[in-house]
Structure 1
Amino acid sequence: MLKSKAILGLAMVGGVLAGTLQLSGTPVLAKNETPILHTESINGKLSYIGNYQTGMSNKDGGIAEIVKYNKDNQKMYLVNGAAQSVDIVSIANMTSNNKTEFKIDTRLDIAAMGQAHGFTSGDITSIDINTSEKIIAIAVQGVTYQDNGSIVILNYDGKYIKHFEAGVQPDMVTFSHDFKYLLSANEGEPREGYSAAGVMDPKGSITIIDIKKGVNKATAQTIGFDKFDSQEARATLVENGVLLKPDAAPSVDLEPEYISVSDNSRYAYVSLQEANSVATIDLKTQEIISVKGLGFKDHNVEENALDALKDGQVNLTTQNLYGTYMPDGIDSQKIGGKRYLFTANEGDGREWGEYEDTGSYTFPGTSFKIDTILNTERDGLEADKTYIYGSRSFSIWDADTMEQVYDSGSDFERITGELYPEAFNSSNNKTELDSRSGKKGPEPEDIKVMKVNGKTFAFIGLERTGGIMMYDVTNVQKVKFHDYVNLRDFSGTDVSSSGDLAPEGLCLVEAKNSPTGKPLMLVANEVSGNVRVFEINGR
């Protein structure tokens, strides 16, 4: 049943939040002002100083996906999945007071590299940099959805060195902080469905490459979730809140999405998005030591109000719905002597072949619908509750127990609804008011955390609405909104004229490694096909 309420002191007038929104004590939008384009951040903590355009854009995404910065040569390395390439771009000449347009140095043809060096090449999904060994690692998927992928090692100039076999569909690659391990999250999705003859659900897995003795003597192994396949172990997972497809073995149903390594390089945390869970790996023993569910977000309470109705209005209300966090990007950080995990709670349904696990809930007394999870397609859901994908927020968790210590509640929709009442909850390739309200709202995609001037900040990219949220998380018990920047032009007529669309991957650069001497944030936008560079003011 609908339960409309005012949100945090802002009155509802004609379905739009009226009055002036107060963020960090600063009025950011006066009454009756409804700009559809902002060229600066809301509170002046994030300044746009650079941009690289790949020369491509695509309404379906897949262009500029993951970007990483190399402090040794002051270049950024960008994964372009659609072109099966990696762009190498110098940003050494940028300065704080100018807006620099960067030009490409080199575009690596990974498919051709694979033909020359004996690995097959499908989608290019991820990249990371090891400044100790002076190498680059990229994740390369196989040609078909059933094939093992590869982790390919290059030098700084993009020259091939070596490759290692990974599991099926490597989706993310990262080095440990001490550069002794290289890991990939191998998703293993059933991309042709479940039931047709010859169709399979590949096993999800994590590949761990031990490079303590250097790349030439490195050893690789791929570990999976087979030890959880027994009836007893599977039941324990469900009791711990892990969402599993009925009758499916965990070894094939769990799909690793993203990895973050602890500050001491002892543990790796792996998001299992569709299972609403996180696995923890002991890198010393190279064993999965736990898989824990993240629970659900209660949208019946006021702090978790959301706009769930595609009614052409900005209308945040409480609802009898439960959000499944289902994080995509994750990051970990030690704060006050304790380790925390940070999650961008995107949500993700399964639509493979003729199979899908998405249902539809019609709000009582209305014709408005929202996408929901089919309870019959997940063990671990209560039959009398309605669950939706994602939670439209970011969360902080105790890394040892996976107990939640903070969630941003309704902040993302509240803030973007006030700033963009004419384009609120638009998708990432078309401006249409409220078009994503009945789905996953703004869709937080990636999250990165970094210390700046003695404080710790979290940065969260919103894939659909666009833009980056910045929060002060120095005290996890008193988290504060700090800034928001969105260089999307909602008045654009197509994806090539609409500014930044669909932030996919974030990369943070410490001041000591930055060309400008100040901390930076690089944002890869996969629909508009560009990388935007921001300078960070953490004061």
Structure 2
Amino acid sequence: MLRRLAAAAVAAGACFSLAAVPAFAAVTPITHSAPDAAISLSVAGTHETGVFGKSAAEIVGWYAKNQRLFVVNAAAGQVDVLDASKAGDPTKLFDIDTTGVKSEDGSVIPAGAVANSVAIRPDGLGVIAVEAPVKTDNGWVVFFDANANQAKPLGAVRVGALPDMITFTPDGKQILVANEAEPAEDYSVDPEGSISVIKAPPQIRAGKQNQVKTAGFGAFEGKLPVFDSRAGADATGVRIFGPEGTDAQNLEPEYITVDAKSKKAYVTLQENNAIAVVNLDQARVERIFPLGVQDLATVAMDVSDRDGKINIKNWPGVKSFLLPDAIASYEVGGKTYLVTANEGDARDWATFSEEARVKDLGKNGLKPVCETSPAYGHLKDPELGRLTITTTAGLNADGTCYEELYAFGGRSFSIFDTNGNRVFDSGSQFEEVTAAAIPEFFNSNHEENAFDNRSDNKGPEPEGIAVGQVDGRTYAFIGFERIGGVIAYDITDPKNAKFVTYINNRDFTQDPESAAAGDLGPEGVTFIPASESPTGKAMVAVGNEVSGTTTLFEVSAR
């Protein structure tokens, strides 16, 4: 029956198949491609930790020289080193434990610290972003030698609070860290968000503390174009909100990409729905631009997990903030373009949460939906009632009721120019593709096999993204955190990006806590060019935080 309900989505003309995989694979992946797809994705090999639901495989770094994958094992505070020279059988060599590493500032990384991100320079200098056991304390960057056959780190330097993502500039001369600086659950401490700009040592050795600079947001205090939360007002500003704090405390860096010349970094401020532009020569944030919203009057979404069907449709009176997580960049004709995975994180802390369901508006002190709102007649559970929205936006001019409703996440990916103009957005295509490919488990969560149980909150939830070239064309590869899988788009022409193919290495008939279920909760996505690949073909490496698996997908011409 559910497959019949998805018939309209399937009718778009794309083809559906179950891909054949080598004998070692435990799962027969689900694939779905456009009729004219130039490439396909297939599973090359998977490494399994056997650890479920503990973030045992998140961000993946690639080192071409010795064909190794470096996989963040967040909860263990370490990086697992995998030999991927045989792509069909990635095997663990050893792990790099950050506990006990001494930093240049005299501190020592204690037990309970969390590894969040890893990056490797082409010569083998590796770096790990490490969060303190108390997340509001300053974290560290740990240095290691990716060529070594043992786990001894080289040293560390101190950076800002909750270092969430780390990367090298393309020229290898600087290391950049996004210090997210989330508040404590009770807001007793709320550090300032920042970007650490570190001069990378020219050799493979630890960096120096005096080479760490901080690009903060103090200069923007009171000067940002702030999103006006009133219905019908300026919806183009930066989201500055919360119970207290300065703008610098409110801004939370998430993910970084760097232009090809290593001059500018572009940093997603996810909860703020904005991107910060960092001048790397000066280690200074020079600009912040907001990202706008999806208007559900024109962009269709399935917004209910209680309607018993796939129901991707328009909803006047409802908008959704993009709120991107990962960001990548590429050049076309000498111009840089930014590619974002519009995940949709909210602020949800013990003493402050912006989240509510539409049906709860008008209860427990929350303002009701205005009778004049286009959404007013659609507040039951099978329609808008279950949709998770923010209480911080959409009130009418006198603040008595919600004229507009604002949800979380674009359920899409976007392409922006560096002036903040959105030149492309995939709109409702992610939900349409997954509805056609896996109708029985459309918008399933990642820790259970269920139909439609994420439609009320961010849908497939695009999170990780990587960009790379295959046969002279540029592709974006985006991971879906909830339903799973990786989708590929041809973005060679930024204004006319096109869906190519989708693969999901998951078996929805198996217990999610068993190895037979396959990959659950894609987090980090890394592109490996053909020139560096163990198979001679381009590959995509994905770390799956729920299943604790790391999977290599081979990219082939069709």
**Both structures adopt the same fold (TM-score exceeding 0.5):** yes
Pick the aligned partner of 1:226 from 218, 222, 227: 218
Counterpart residue identity of residue 391, structure 1: G
Encode CA deviations 1:17-68: one digit per residue, 9 max, x unaligned. Answer: 3474445xx53269xxxxxx8525334611111111123122xx41200111
* Alignment of 1:53 onto 2:48: yes
CA separation of 1:217 and 1:353: change in aligned 2, threshold 3 A: closer
8 A contact 1:495–1:501 mirrored in 2: no
2:142 is aligned to: 152
Matched residues in 2 for 1:417 and 1:455: separation?
27
Measured after TM superposition, the shift of residue 454 of structure 1 is: 0.6
8 A contact 1:141–1:150 mirrored in 2: yes
Q: List gaps (5 residues or longer) in structure 2.
A: 19-26, 34-38, 229-233, 360-374
Matched residues in 1 for 2:90 and 2:137: separation?
36
8 A contact 1:22–1:28 mirrored in 2: no
* Alignment of 1:528 onto 2:547: yes
* Alignment of 1:477 onto 2:495: yes
* Alignment of 1:314 onto 2:325: no
Find the residue that maps to 2:135 and give its secondary structure: coil
Measured after TM superposition, the shift of residue 227 of structure 1 is: 1.0
Counterpart residue identity of residue 86, structure 1: V
8 A contact 1:308–1:438 mirrored in 2: yes
* Alignment of 1:258 onto 2:246: no
Percent of aligned positions with the same letter in both sequences?
35
With structure 2 as the length reference, what TM-score do the two structures score? 0.85
Pick the aligned partner of 2:90 from 83, 88, 102: 102
CA separation of 1:236 and 1:438: change in aligned 2, threshold 3 A: closer
Measured after TM superposition, the shift of residue 422 of structure 1 is: 1.2
Matched residues in 2 for 1:269 and 1:89: separation?
30
Matched residues in 1 for 2:206 and 2:70: separation?
23
Measured after TM superposition, the shift of residue 365 of structure 1 is: 5.4
Pick the aligned partner of 2:272 from 269, 272, 275: 275
Measured after TM superposition, the shift of residue 523 of structure 1 is: 0.7
* Alignment of 1:242 onto 2:238: yes
8 A contact 2:395–2:402 mirrored in 1: no
8 A contact 1:40–1:47 mirrored in 2: no
Measured after TM superposition, the shift of residue 110 of structure 1 is: 2.1
Measured after TM superposition, the shift of residue 16 of structure 1 is: 3.2
Matched residues in 2 for 1:82 and 1:21: separation?
43
2:371 is aligned to: none
* Alignment of 1:111 onto 2:125: no
CA separation of 1:48 and 1:372: change in aligned 2, threshold 3 A: same
Matched residues in 2 for 1:377 and 1:18: separation?
33
Find the residue that maps to 2:213 and give its secondary structure: strand
1:458 is aligned to: 476
Pairwise mapping of residues 318-329 of structure 1 onto structure 2 (< 5 A)? 318-320=314-316, 321-329=318-326
8 A contact 1:20–1:29 mirrored in 2: no
Pairwise mapping of residues 366-377 of structure 1 onto structure 2 (< 5 A)? 366-367=380-381, 368-375=385-392
8 A contact 2:175–2:200 mirrored in 1: yes
Counterpart residue identity of residue 483, structure 2: T
Matched residues in 2 for 1:495 and 1:83: separation?
19
8 A contact 2:10–2:435 mirrored in 1: no
2:31 is aligned to: 41
Measured after TM superposition, the shift of residue 383 of structure 1 is: 5.7
1:171 is aligned to: 164
Higher alpha-carbon deviation: 260-269 or 473-482: 473-482
Counterpart residue identity of residue 106, structure 1: F
Counterpart residue identity of residue 293, structure 2: F
- Count of paired positions: 503
1:211 is aligned to: 200
Find the residue that maps to 2:404 and give its secondary structure: coil
1:123 is aligned to: 114
1:4 is aligned to: none
- RMSD over aligned Cα atoms: 2.6
Matched residues in 1 for 2:225 and 2:476: separation?
35
Find the residue that maps to 1:160 and give its secondary structure: coil
Measured after TM superposition, the shift of residue 432 of structure 1 is: 1.2
Find the residue that maps to 1:416 and give its secondary structure: helix
Measured after TM superposition, the shift of residue 204 of structure 1 is: 0.7
Matched residues in 2 for 1:148 and 1:19: separation?
48
Matched residues in 2 for 1:51 and 1:80: separation?
16
Pick the aligned partner of 1:351 from 348, 353, 363: 348
Find the residue that maps to 2:183 and give its secondary structure: coil
* Alignment of 1:517 onto 2:508: no
Q: List gaps (5 residues or longer) in structure 1.
A: 1-11, 31-36, 95-99
Matched residues in 2 for 1:317 and 1:377: separation?
21
Find the residue that maps to 1:227 and give its secondary structure: helix
Find the residue that maps to 1:144 and give its secondary structure: coil
Matched residues in 2 for 1:260 and 1:530: separation?
25
8 A contact 2:157–2:207 mirrored in 1: no
Matched residues in 2 for 1:396 and 1:538: separation?
24
Encode CA deviations 1:54-92: one digit per residue, 9 max, x unaligned. Answer: 23122xx41200111101111111100122221111111
Measured after TM superposition, the shift of residue 448 of structure 1 is: 0.7
2:86 is aligned to: 93
With structure 1 as the length reference, what TM-score do the two structures score? 0.88
Find the residue that maps to 2:61 and give its secondary structure: strand
1:508 is aligned to: 527
Pairwise mapping of residues 334-349 of structure 1 onto structure 2 (< 5 A)? 334-349=331-346
Matched residues in 2 for 1:281 and 1:379: separation?
36
Measured after TM superposition, the shift of residue 237 of structure 1 is: 7.6
Find the residue that maps to 2:29 and give its secondary structure: coil
Find the residue that maps to 2:154 and give its secondary structure: strand
Find the residue that maps to 1:537 and give its secondary structure: strand
CA separation of 1:279 and 1:365: change in aligned 2, threshold 3 A: closer
8 A contact 1:450–1:458 mirrored in 2: yes
8 A contact 1:237–1:292 mirrored in 2: no
